[in-house]
Amino acid sequence: MMNELLTRVRFFFSRRRPAELDEELQFHVEQATQANLAAGMTPHEARRQALVEFGGVERTRDQCHEERPGWWIGTVWQDARYALRGFRRNPVFTVAVIATLALGIGATTAVFSVVDRILFRALPYAHDDRLVSVGLTAPIIPQEFMLGGSYYDWRDNQKPFEAFTSETGVGECDLTERNPARLSCASVEANFLPTFGVSPILGRNFLPEEDRPNGPKVALISYALWDAHYGRDPAIVNKLVDIDGKQVRVIGVLPRDFEMPTLQAADVLVPQALDEAEQRKADPGRVMYAFARLKPGLTIAQAQAALEPVFNYSLSLAPPQFRKEVHLRVRSVRDRQVQDVRLVAWILLGAVLAVLLIACANVASLLLARAAARERELAVRSVLGASRGRLVRQTLTETLLLALAGAAAGSILAEILLRIFIAIAPAGIPFLAKAHLDLRIILFTVLLSLLCGTVFGVLPALQKPRPAALAARSMHSGAHAWLRRCLVVSQIAISMVLLTGAALLLRSFSNLAQQDMGLQTRGVLAVHIPLPGYRYTTNQKRMDFFLAAETALRRLPGVQTVAMSDSLPPGGTHGEQIYTNIAIAGKPRSTGGTGGMVAWRWVTPAYFSSLGIPIVRGQEFTEAQRTSTERFLILSSLLASRLFGNENPIGQRVQPVPNGPWYTVLGVTANAKNAGLTGGDEPEFYQLRRNFAEDWNSSAVLLLKTSLVPAAAAPWVRSQIAQIDPTVPVEIETLSQGVSKLADRPRFEAALLGFFASCGLLMAVIGLYGVIAFVATQRTQEIGVRMALGATRLDILRLIAGEGVRLILLGGILGLAAALALAHWLKSLLFNVGPHDPASYALVALLLALVALAATLIPARAAMKVEPVVALRYE
């Protein structure tokens, strides 16, 4: 075996002179002549006979040559050169195929790179398939959570988990040493990292005694912080650093790929150091987020069932009005991370796969058309002695070359698309910033396109070219035409599905953008000033700063009003509380359920005029009331009607929080959006923020109503703030920008799906055009005959266009059915438009019909204008 291989290798490299073979053959003829002479022929006759017997030399020479190892490599090169010549002769075909492939490969790769981490890639934890998030759901907190009072009961009595841990959230903290920096610190239980199977790359994990109140102050730092702040100095372990003014010992460095299961950024991990005994007694205790590792073999559903007893026990301790609205939730960490993005990711993936399908169909269709056009050429080559294998190899070489070119262009396109995605994507799509092109995915799409190219490129070459194809006026093979029609119908159908999806999202987006929010965002600047907590330690300091800022900004020219609030509508976080906690003087407290959530804000009197929220009843706050000892609030219409029905709310006394202060209702405003762009309106009340420190337990944002353009106002605002405190960061944006940001997600979704749908439509239309143009050319002669026999040009138009119309109708109806069936997946992404919105469907059908008809009419018109005499002589 080895010998044989070596011999082959030797012959592969050693060239043999062709003369040797000729000499050998020459010798053979001479010997034959000698033999004939010996048999008694004349010399002339002997030589003639020998030559006759010998036969043709060329073929022997070729065959001997073909026996040579590595002979086929030469033919591949030959095929490749032949293919390249063919491409140069037919640039439209070549560009169309490569562009289609590039689009399919590029879009699929880019989208897959984005959704891979969301949907498929393993989390950076050991046993990531067994990690779950455990907790209660209630209206008050969007994610499942636990309370200190019940967490320890669950931890001690649960059965389905082999590890159970918690964290108490990520907060801002300050590194207060020579290089101060604002960081985020996560507080975790001591067994947090072991539960996730994460070990520090340097140093050690927390010890149990460090996770106790007044235990030693220790911290683990992230790889990024270690890198950026400490130059990856291993000596950081056991060093003391200042966090929020306290000395903390660094005990280790986290792995580079570490991330919190909540995906919150965390530069520092500290022990949460809760007092277990105190928490057990507390009601309700600290809010905690619990994570656990399932015992091997258990499913999430089984775990949930096994937790029911402890859950019911905890529920029995809760106030009765909560019981109905609190549920148990166990879900995988991945589900908690990706939330509603999962659906978007699947929809994008589906859309891009549909585009890939259309692209494949287009490539197949183009290759089939080329094969049909080349049938005659293949027949000629076959007759001239090319074997079928040789013809297949030739076609395969062409397909491979096209696929490689398409893959190269596709990879570049994928990189560009990915950068665009990252640039236009809204915040809140996890992992997007870290997305990068995945070689495996490029490989996969290239293989797929190779496959569809090969199948459709080589299929026609496999059939032995029919001798009939040699005759110039042959009918082209019917099977290919049928296949191409199928491909076009499926392309139209898939485009229809994509287009309806895009149309629905676009309509939803425009509904979102044009809705009446109940407030005026034009000309309003929002100035955020996050005060560093370690310097602004008291309410008084905070209030002094903001009151000074308010006064300073009022002095600016062109500023009409300056208002302050602690949060901004229509989205974003704001104060929230349970409806049934609100008490009205002289009325019994309502019972039964929580009554849902109520939004509230601290505002100054100018808030309503700045945002153009009209007062529909009663009065606005006045400047004088800011120094009043009495407390005032204003209700939204929704809350007023819920609390008081038809009674007059003005002058009533209301206590929003049990045991809290009482407020006097001063007025009622119109409803303004306060639960994001898509959310329904929550009932809301506004508390007047007076100039007393007790009202300033939270930060503030300044609202400027101004006629100035933001770019002109910003430097003035900054200089005014800098005069009060030059070190605080100032963030300025227009309120319209803030609102527009809320629409980023729907805009992103609509834009992407719209892009894919347009790509799909374009390719489908090219495919349709190709088929009709092909049919028209094929039937040129027939058209000539028909016209000679008296058919009008309109008849011809009908003949050719009818073909296209049939394909469009069939594809359109199939697509419509598929779209109707698939649309319910979009339901949760749509705003004020149903998944079966007739207008969207009608619009898409109309658009598709118009574009497709245009693609049909161009070649049909060309066929109509054919001169009968020319057509009869065609070819």
Partner 1 sequence: MPPSTDLLQGTLDLLILQTLAPGPMHGWGVAQRIQQISKDVLQIGQGSLYPALHRLEYKGWIRADWGNSDNNRRAKFYSLTRTGKKRLETELKTWERLSSAVALVLGRVPEASA
Residues that bind partner 1 (CB under 8 A): 3-4, 6-8, 11, 20-21, 23-25, 27-28, 30-32, 34-35, 54-56, 59-60, 63-64, 66-69
CB atoms within 10 A of CB 156: 10
Contact call for residues 213 and 273 (beta carbons, < 8 A): yes
Of the pair 33, 567, the CB lying nearest partner 1 is at 33
Of the pair 2, 423, the CB lying nearest partner 1 is at 2
What's the closest the beta carbon of residue 88 comes to partner 1, in angstroms? 36
Long-range contacts of 773-778 (CB under 8 A, 24+ apart): 773/858, 773/859, 773/862, 774/369, 774/372, 774/481, 774/484, 775/481, 775/800, 775/803, 775/859, 776/800, 776/859, 776/860, 776/862, 776/863, 778/475, 778/476, 778/481
Backbone angles phi, psi at 704, to 5 degrees: -110, 120
What secondary structure, in 3-state letters, does 481-507 show?
HHHHHHHHHHHHHHHHHHHHHHHHHHH
- Alpha-carbon distances, residue 772 vs 286, 775, 795, 852 (angstroms): 71, 5, 16, 11
What's the closest the beta carbon of residue 71 comes to partner 1, in angstroms? 10
Contact call for residues 289 and 166 (beta carbons, < 8 A): yes
What's the closest the beta carbon of residue 72 comes to partner 1, in angstroms? 13
Backbone angles phi, psi at 58, to 5 degrees: -55, -45
Task: Name beta bridge partners: 526.
Answer: 703, 733
What's the closest the beta carbon of residue 67 comes to partner 1, in angstroms? 4
Of the pair 30, 276, the CB lying nearest partner 1 is at 30
What's the closest the beta carbon of residue 40 comes to partner 1, in angstroms? 18
Of the pair 50, 776, the CB lying nearest partner 1 is at 50
What's the closest the beta carbon of residue 14 comes to partner 1, in angstroms? 11
What's the closest the beta carbon of residue 76 comes to partner 1, in angstroms? 19
Q: Report the candidate in 654, 655, 667, 584 with the shortest Cα–Cα distance to residue 622.
A: 667
CB atoms within 10 A of CB 872: 15
Of the pair 3, 727, the CB lying nearest partner 1 is at 3
Of the pair 50, 367, the CB lying nearest partner 1 is at 50
Of the pair 7, 707, the CB lying nearest partner 1 is at 7
- Give the Cα separation of 857 and 767 in Å (integer): 14
What's the closest the beta carbon of residue 59 comes to partner 1, in angstroms? 6
Q: Report the candidate in 354, 408, 485 with the shortest Cα–Cα distance to residue 771.
A: 485
Of the pair 64, 809, the CB lying nearest partner 1 is at 64
What's the closest the beta carbon of residue 3 comes to partner 1, in angstroms? 5
- Give the Cα separation of 465 and 257 in Å (integer): 59
| Backbone conformation region of residue 70, classed left if phi is above 0, alpha if psi is from -120 to 50, else beta | left
What's the closest the beta carbon of residue 25 comes to partner 1, in angstroms? 7
DSSP string, 415-458: HHHHHHHHHHPPTT-TTGGG----HHHHHHHHHHHHHHHHHHHH
- Give the Cα separation of 104 and 411 in Å (integer): 10
Of the pair 29, 298, the CB lying nearest partner 1 is at 29
Of the pair 63, 627, the CB lying nearest partner 1 is at 63
Q: Is the preceding omega at residue 746 within 30 degrees of 0, hence cis?
A: no
Of the pair 68, 331, the CB lying nearest partner 1 is at 68
Instruction: Classify 116 as helix, strand or coil.
Output: helix
